[in-house]
């Protein structure tokens, strides 16, 4: 097997993108995650101003993320549209508790919103940040990745699009190499993986603005306290289950947060990290102190397999 060379990949890819796109315009939904951002930049390099990047604010992003992503895109001279779709997304989550149903609902809303923008811009080609692990796991039925339409039997033409997936043959470390080679800031190329449906997968049970706010706060605390660990992925999950606790000397039937910190290279397998207890206890203390409704913190000690990295 030949060693992966980012430079060679990029050269070949730029040519393929140009051939595939022709003189059409292209739209790319960029969430700020490594995959979609690298894909956006690669296509921008190939077709320049014929690309419009779209950031959809679904209300499910991490603290400060919408502003961060839009700033990065604009700094690099990419035409960018910011779409506030928070209300629409929370509406479709109402009453849904099943993980797969939530993923499907997210996907449907995502393509509806993106479709509207594409129509306004009169664009028919959509860029997807699909990578190899997404394809493998979707085909295997381990999860339905929201950006692997064809593999799950959805003809993208039904939505009226042609799909462009420049990273579909790459694993995560190769995507990062491409990002570095393209000169992306380390904040992007070294970014932790973050799923398309975002914090909705990390709120077990019904997704509401209040519950997303709790998991967003917990996520920020976990990220702050684990910066120096250099792990593949660090995040928080809000349970639907509740547990008893004691706050202000009184019984509180409160929320439970799980902390998940894993090592992995490609997300296909992963190992729970042996995080020093000092750090774990500090995280638990901060979360239960700074988020009044939370009375209990758990640490996920399962590898993938038999677990997955995310809970949903």
> Considering only CA atoms, which of 215, 230, 220 is closest in space to residue 310?
215
CB of 305 to a second copy, least distance (A): 4
Cis peptide before 272 (omega within 30 of 0): no
Q: Collapsing DSSP states into helix, strand and coil, what is residue 275? A: coil
Query: Considering beta carbons, is residue 24 or 281 the nearer one to a second copy?
Result: 281
- Residue 71 vs 285, nearer CB to a second copy: 285
Shortest separation between residue 57's beta carbon and a second copy, angstroms: 26
d(CA 38, CA 181): 10
H/E segment holding residue 117: helix 99-121
156 or 245, CB closer to a second copy? 245
Residue numbers at the binding site for a second copy (CB under 8 A): 99-100, 140-143, 204-205, 239-247, 249-251, 253, 258-259, 272, 274, 277, 280-281, 283-284, 288-289, 295-308, 310-312
Q: Closer CB to a second copy, residue 210 or residue 274?
A: 274
**Which pair of structure tokens corresponds to residue 96?**
């849904």
- How near is the Cβ of 118 to a second copy at its closest, in Å? 31
Closest to a second copy by CB, 47 vs 283, is 283
- Spatial separation of the C-alpha atoms in residues 272 and 163, rounded to whole Å: 35
CB-nearer residue toward a second copy: 96 or 239: 239
* Residues 132, 264: Cα–Cα separation, whole Å: 15
CB nearer a second copy, residue 118 or residue 222: 222
Distance CA 302, CA 309 (A): 9
**CA torsion angle for 15, 21, 23, 25 (degrees, to 10)?**
-130
Minimum distance from residue 261 beta carbon to a second copy (Å): 12
Who contacts 124 (Cβ-Cβ below 8 Å, separation ≥6)?
24, 25, 118, 160, 161, 162
The least CB distance from residue 204 to a second copy, in Å, is 5
Per DSSP, what are the bridge partners of residue 28? 53, 127
Q: How far is the CB of 226 from a second copy (least distance, A)?
A: 13
Render 56-90 in DSSP notation, one character per residue: EE-S-SPTTHHHHHHHHHHHTT--EEEEE-HHHHH
Report how far residue 72's alpha carbon sits from residue 76's, in angstroms, rounded to the nearest whole number.
6
Least CB distance to a second copy at residue 81 (A): 33
Tell which residue, 210, 152, 219, 153, has the closest CA to residue 192: 219
Q: How far is the CB of 27 from a second copy (least distance, A)?
A: 31
**Which of 38, 71, 70, 76 minimizes the C-alpha distance to 54?**
70
Measured from the CB atom, the residue of 6 and 221 that comes closer to a second copy is 221
């Amino acid at each position: 097997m030949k060693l992966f060379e980012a430079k060679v990949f990029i050269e070949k890819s730029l040519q393929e993108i140009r051939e595939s796109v022709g003189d059409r315009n292209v739209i790319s939904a960029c969430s700020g995650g490594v995959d979609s951002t690298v894909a956006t930049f690669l296509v921008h390099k190939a077709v320049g101003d014929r690309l419009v990047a779209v950031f959809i604010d679904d209300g499910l992003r991490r603290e400060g993320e919408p502003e961060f992503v839009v700033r990065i895109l604009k700094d690099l001279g990419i035409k960018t549209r910011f779409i506030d779709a928070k209300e629409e997304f929370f509406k479709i989550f109402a009453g849904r508790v099943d993980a797969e149903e939530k993923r499907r609902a997210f996907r449907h809303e995502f393509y509806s919103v993106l479709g509207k923008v594409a129509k306004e811009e009169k664009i028919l080609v959509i860029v997807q940040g699909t990578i190899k692990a997404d394809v493998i796991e979707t085909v295997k039925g381990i999860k339905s990745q929201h950006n692997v339409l064809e593999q799950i039997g959805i003809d993208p033409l039904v939505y009226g699009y042609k799909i462009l997936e420049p990273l579909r043959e790459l694993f995560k470390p190769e995507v990062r190499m491409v990002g570095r080679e393209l000169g992306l800031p380390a904040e992007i190329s070294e970014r932790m993986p973050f799923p398309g449906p975002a914090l909705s997968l990390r709120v077990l049970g019904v997704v509401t603005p209040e519950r997303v706010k709790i998991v967003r706060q917990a996520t920020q605390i976990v990220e702050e306290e684990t910066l120096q660990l250099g792990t593949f992925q660090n995040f928080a999950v809000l349970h639907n289950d509740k547990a008893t606790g004691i706050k202000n000397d009184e019984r509180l039937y409160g929320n439970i947060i799980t902390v998940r910190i894993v090592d992995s290279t490609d997300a296909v397998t992963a190992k729970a990290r042996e995080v020093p207890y000092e750090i774990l206890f500090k995280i638990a203390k901060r979360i239960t102190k700074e988020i009044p409704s939370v009375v209990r913190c758990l640490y996920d000690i399962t590898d993938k397999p038999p677990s997955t990295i995310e809970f949903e």
